[in-house]
C-alpha cells in the first residue's frame, strides 16, 4: 500500500468511508482497430515527438518494437526507472530517467506529441503530476484503468505493448505516414537536453561522483545492478549509472527500505552470479537528516537519524562473506573490480564521510510543509 505524501500531511475527519476498488482484468487479443487508427493519425501529425517507456514495455518483451517506433518517429525517449534499458542510454535519442531536470521539462513542453508505453506516470517522476506534458498524448497500456488516470489522453490503445506497437506501425504504413516524422533539428534538441540533464545532476554529487564513474567503468553491459531505497540510488544509481540493456537495473517499486539484498539474491540466482554488496555508510538515516536540516536549519538538534556504525565487515565475515572497508575513490574502484572478478559473495563498505559530502543534499521528492 502506498500513501501519497500530501495525504500524510493532510487533515481529515476521524472517520472516513473506505475506498472501494475493483480490479479490472487485462484484455486479451489485439488492440481495438478504431483506437489504433485514432492514435496513428495523431502520431502522423507530430513533428516533435517523445516516447515515455515504462516497465510495461519491458514486461511485454517489446524492447525491439519500442526501438522501431522510436526510429520511425525520430522521437526522444524518456523512461521510468523500470523502463531503463529499453533504449540503450548511450543512444543520442535516449534521455532516460531524467524527467525531473529543468531542460527536460522544457523539452516536454516544446514537444507536440507524447507516446506513453507501459507507464503510469508515477508521482515521484512527475512532481506529483505537476509536470507539463504535451496535450497530444497517446497512451499504450495493457491495463484499461491506466490510460487517462493521471493525465488526459487523446487516444488510448489497450493491449499488450508489443501488439499495440506492431498495430501502430502497420497503421502508419497504411496511411503513408513519413518514414521519419520528426523535424530535422528535433534530434539535436533531444540530445542537448539529455546531455545537460546528466551534467546538471552530476554537478550536485560533489566528490561522490567518483563512486558513479568508478562503478560504471567496472560493469559489463549485462551486469545486473540492484538498488535499495537509498540516497546513492536515487541521486545517481537510478538516473546516471548507464543502463544499456533491459532487466539489468532493478529497484523497489514501492520505495520500501531493505529490499535491495533480497532482490539481489534473486537476481544472483537467476543469473548464476554471486552477489556483490556495495554498502554506502553515512552513519544514519541520511535523507531524514537532510530533510530535518532543510526544514529547521543546520545546527538544530536532529531526531532519530544518527544510527551509529555497526561492524558491517565483521557481520559479513560471520556469514562467511569476504568484506573490506574503503575510504577513497581509488580504493573503492580497486575493491569493486576485485569483488566482481572474485566470483564469490563479497561486501564492500564505503565510508561516505571519508569520501566527502554531496554538493547538494538530497531531500527526496516529498515536500513537507514549512514550519509555521
More confident residue, 292 or 162: 162
Q: Give residue for cell 545537460.
A: 196
Give pLDDT, residue 21.
Answer: 45
Percent of the chain with pLDDT over 70: 93
What is the chain's mean pLDDT, rounded?
A: 92
- 114-146 confidence digits (pLDDT tens): 999 999 998 888 988 999 999 999 999 999 999
| Domains 27-195 and 203-355 are alike in CATH topology | yes
**Cβ neighbour number for residue 268 with a 10 Å cutoff:** 16
More confident residue, 25 or 263: 263
CATH architecture of the domain covering 27-195:
3-Layer(aba) Sandwich (3.40)
Contacts of 111 (CB under 8 A, 6+ apart): 48, 49, 50, 76, 134
Which of 258, 256, 238, 234 shows the shortest CA–CA distance to 248? 238
**Which triple of cell numbers denotes residue 65?**
518494437
Is the model's pLDDT at 217 over the cut of 80?
yes
55 and 82 Cβ atoms separated by less than 8 Å: yes
- 233-254 confidence digits (pLDDT tens): 999 999 999 999 999 999 987 7
Rounded to a whole number, what is the largest CA-CA distance in the chain?
67
- 95-119 confidence digits (pLDDT tens): 999 999 999 999 999 999 999 999 9
Domain ranges of the chain: 27-195, 203-355
**In this structure, what is the dihedral angle of CA atoms 160, 162, 166, 168, given to the nearest 10 degrees?**
60
172 and 181 Cβ atoms separated by less than 8 Å: no
113 and 90 Cβ atoms separated by less than 8 Å: no
The pTM of this model reads 0.89
Least confident of 8-22, 74-88, 113-127, 213-227: 8-22
Is the model's pLDDT at 324 over the cut of 50?
yes
Range 38-52 burial, b when 16+ CB lie within 10 A, else e: bbbebbbebebbbbb
Give pLDDT, residue 47.
Answer: 97
- 45-75 confidence digits (pLDDT tens): 999 999 999 999 999 999 999 999 999 999 9
Class of domain 203-355: alpha beta
Is the model's pLDDT at 371 over the cut of 80?
no
Contacts of 219 (CB under 8 A, 6+ apart): 225, 241, 242, 340
Helix 161-174 and helix 63-73, axial crossing angle in degrees, nearest 10? 30
Q: Confidence class of residue 300 from pLDDT cuts 50, 70 and 90? A: confident
Amino acid at each position: 500500500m502506498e500513501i501519497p505524501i500530501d495525504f500524510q500531511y493532510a487533515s481529515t475527519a476521524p472517520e472516513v468511508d473506505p475506498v472501494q476498488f475493483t480490479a479490472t482484468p487485462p484484455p486479451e487479443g489485439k488492440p481495438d482497430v478504431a483506437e489504433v487508427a485514432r492514435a496513428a493519425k495523431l502520431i502522423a501529425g507530430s513533428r516533435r515527438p517523445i516516447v515515455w517507456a515504462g516497465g510495461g514495455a519491458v514486461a511485454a518483451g517489446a524492447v525491439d518494437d519500442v526501438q522501431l517506433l522510436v526510429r520511425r518517429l525520430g522521437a526522444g525517449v524518456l523512461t521510468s526507472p523500470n523502463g531503463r534499458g529499453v533504449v540503450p542510454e548511450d543512444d543520442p535519442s535516449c534521455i532516460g530517467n531524467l524527467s525531473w531536470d529543468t531542460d527536460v521539462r522544457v523539452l516536454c513542453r516544446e514537444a507536440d506529441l507524447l507516446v506513453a508505453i507501459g507507464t503510469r506516470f508515477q508521482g515521484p517522476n512527475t512532481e506529483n503530476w505537476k509536470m507539463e506534458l504535451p496535450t497530444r498524448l497517446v497512451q499504450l497500456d495493457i491495463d484499461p484503468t491506466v490510460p487517462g488516470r493521471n493525465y488526459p489522453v487523446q487516444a488510448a490503445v489497450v493491449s499488450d505493448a508489443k501488439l499495440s506497437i506492431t498495430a501502430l506501425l502497420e497503421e502508419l504504413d497504411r496511411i503513408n505516414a513519413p518514414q521519419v516524422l520528426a523535424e530535422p533539428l528535433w534530434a539535436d534538441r533531444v540530445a542537448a537536453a539529455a546531455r545537460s540533464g546528466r551534467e546538471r545532476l552530476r554537478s550536485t554529487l560533489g566528490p561522490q561522483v567518483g563512486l558513479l564513474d568508478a562503478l560504471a567503468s567496472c560493469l559489463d553491459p549485462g551486469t545486473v545492478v540492484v538498488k535499495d531505497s537509498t540516497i546513492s540510488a536515487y541521486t545517481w544509481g537510478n538516473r546516471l549509472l548507464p543502463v544499456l540493456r533491459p532487466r539489468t537495473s532493478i529497484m523497489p517499486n514501492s520505495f520500501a527500505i531493505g529490499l535491495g539484498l533480497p532482490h539481489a539474491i534473486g537476481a544472483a540466482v537467476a543469473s548464476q552470479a554471486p552477489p556483490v554488496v556495495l554498502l554506502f555508510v553515512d552513519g544514519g538515516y541520511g535523507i531524514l537528516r537532510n530533510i530535518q536540516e532543510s526544514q529547521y536549519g543546520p545546527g538544530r538538534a536532529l531526531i532519530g537519524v544518527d544510527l551509529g556504525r555497526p561492524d558491517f565487515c565483521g557481520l559479513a565475515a560471520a556469514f562467511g562473506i569476504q568484506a573490506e572497508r574503503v575510504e577513497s575513490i581509488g580504493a573503492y574502484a580497486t575493491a569493486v573490480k576485485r569483488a566482481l572478478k572474485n566470483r564469490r559473495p563479497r561486501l564492500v563498505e564505503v565510508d561516505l564521510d571519508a569520501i566527502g559530502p554531496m554538493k547538494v543534499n538530497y531531500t527526496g521528492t516529498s515536500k513537507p510543509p514549512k514550519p509555521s
